[in-house]
Structure 1
Amino acid sequence: MIPQDNSVIFDFQRQKGAATWYVVNDGVMGGLSQGKMSINDAGNGVFKGYVTTENNGGFSSVRHSFSKKDVSNFKVVKLRIKGDGKPYQFRIKANEAQQYSFIQEFKTSGEWETIVIPFDSFYPSFRGNKLNRPNYDGKFMEEVTFLIGNKKKEAFALEIERIWLE
C-alpha cells in the first residue's frame, strides 16, 4: 500500500534521486569510515560503505532535511528497507538546528521488510550518550538519519525504498 502524500517523509520511487540526502562520516571527529548514498537500477536509495574504528572513528550516517512537518496526527515511522543483517539506527530531529537526535535501533534481516518504530520509543541522545530528557513527543519533524556504528570494522549496505508515517 502506498501511503498518502502528507505522511511520506521520502519515497525514492517518486522523488527520484539522492540530492537531498547528505553523508556525515566519522571524519568530523578524525575517523576514517567511508559511506556514500547512491541510487540503484531499481530506483532505490543505497547507503553503503565501510566503517572502521581506526583513528577514533566508528560511524557513517546519511541525513535528509526537509521543511518542518507537523507529525502530531501520526504515531509511528515506517521504513521500507532491505539491509544486510546488521543493526542500524534511525534518528529523528524535531528541529534541524537542535544538537541531539531522537534515536531507535533496528536490526535488518537481509530481506525486504517494513520496520515499524513507535514515536514514543525514540530516546534523546547526543554523541552516543543518552540524555536525561523525555522521549520524542511526536509533534514536529525536520530531519531523519540512518546511522551505522556497531563499534567494529565492517562493510555495510542499506537499500531504502520509502520512509513514511502512520
Structure 2
Amino acid sequence: MSELKSVFEFNKKSNIKQWHIVNDDVMGGLSMGLMQINIQGNGVFSGHVSLDNNGGFCLVRHDVERIPVDKYSFFVLRIKGDGKKYAFRCKSGEHQRHTYSFDFKSSKEWQTIEISFAEMEAVFRGEELKLPNYHGDYLAQIAFIIKNGVEEDFKLEIDSIALK
C-alpha cells in the first residue's frame, strides 16, 4: 500500500476561507454551522442543527484542484468529535451533482478513521442513489455533514484528511 498523501492538513496558518459552510437555509431551514481554526491549529466544524422550517443539516466542504487518486484506496481522517454521527463526503468532479458518502460515529478522543473508497455510497440530497460506490479515479471535493434527524449542538475537530 502506498504512503499517505495529504489532501488537507490544518494548522494555525490554514486559510479557513477555503472551507465553505452550507446550512439547511438553502431549503428554508434555520441550522447554523461555522468553521474556525482553534488555538492548537485544528479545524473546528461546529454549530447547531435545527429541525425548524424543514431543516436538519450543516455541511462544510473544501474544493480541491481535481487530482487523480487511482493509486489510493482509502481516505484517512484524523479527528476528534463529540460522540455524534457525521458523514464524510467527496466528489470526483467539480460539476458532479451527487456526492459519495460514508457515515461514522465520532469519539471524544482523537481517532484515525480509514474509509475505503468502496464503502462510499452515492447520495443526492440525503437520498441513496442506485449508482456504483466511489470508484476512486479523481477527487475534486471533500466535505463533512451532520444530519441526524434531531435538534442538536455539534463540534467536530479536524486535524487532517489524507489518502492511503
**Shorter-chain TM-score tier:** over 0.9
Q: 1:118 aligns with which of 97, 100, 116?
A: 116
After superposition, where does 1:13-162 map in structure 2 within 5 Å? 13=11, 16-162=14-160
Structure 1's 87 and 160: CA in aligned 2 closer, same or farther, altered over 3 A? same
Give the distance between the partners of 1:142 and 1:17, measured in 2 at CA. Answer: 18
TM-score (norm 1): 0.95
Shift of 1:17: 3.0
In the alignment of these two chains, the number of paired residues is 162
Gaps of 5+ in 2: none
Give the distance between the partners of 1:50 and 1:71, measured in 2 at CA. Answer: 34
SS at match of 1:27: helix
Contact 2:78 2:160 in 1 (8 A): yes
Give the distance between the partners of 1:14 and 1:165, measured in 2 at CA. Answer: 22
Give the distance between the partners of 1:63 and 1:21, measured in 2 at CA. Answer: 5
SS at match of 1:80: strand
Give the distance between the partners of 1:103 and 1:120, measured in 2 at CA. Answer: 10
Q: Is it true that 1:11 corresponds to 2:9 in the alignment?
A: yes
Give the distance between the partners of 1:112 and 1:130, measured in 2 at CA. Answer: 29
Shift of 1:13: 2.5
Give the distance between the partners of 2:97 and 2:12, measured in 1 at CA. Answer: 30
Residue deviations 1:58-80 (CA, integer Å, cap 9, x gap): 00000000110100000100100
Give the distance between the partners of 1:16 and 1:22, measured in 2 at CA. Answer: 14
Q: CA RMSD in A?
A: 1.2
Give the distance between the partners of 1:29 and 1:86, measured in 2 at CA. Answer: 23
Shift of 1:15: 6.0
Give the distance between the partners of 1:17 and 1:90, measured in 2 at CA. Answer: 20
Shift of 1:14: 7.8
Give the distance between the partners of 1:64 and 1:15, measured in 2 at CA. Answer: 16
TM-score (norm 2): 0.96
Q: Which moved more, 1:42-51 or 1:13-22?
A: 13-22
Contact 2:31 2:50 in 1 (8 A): yes
Give the distance between the partners of 1:13 and 1:33, measured in 2 at CA. Answer: 27
Residue deviations 1:60-112 (CA, integer Å, cap 9, x gap): 00000011010000010010000000000000100121110000001011110
Divergent runs of 4+, >2 A: none
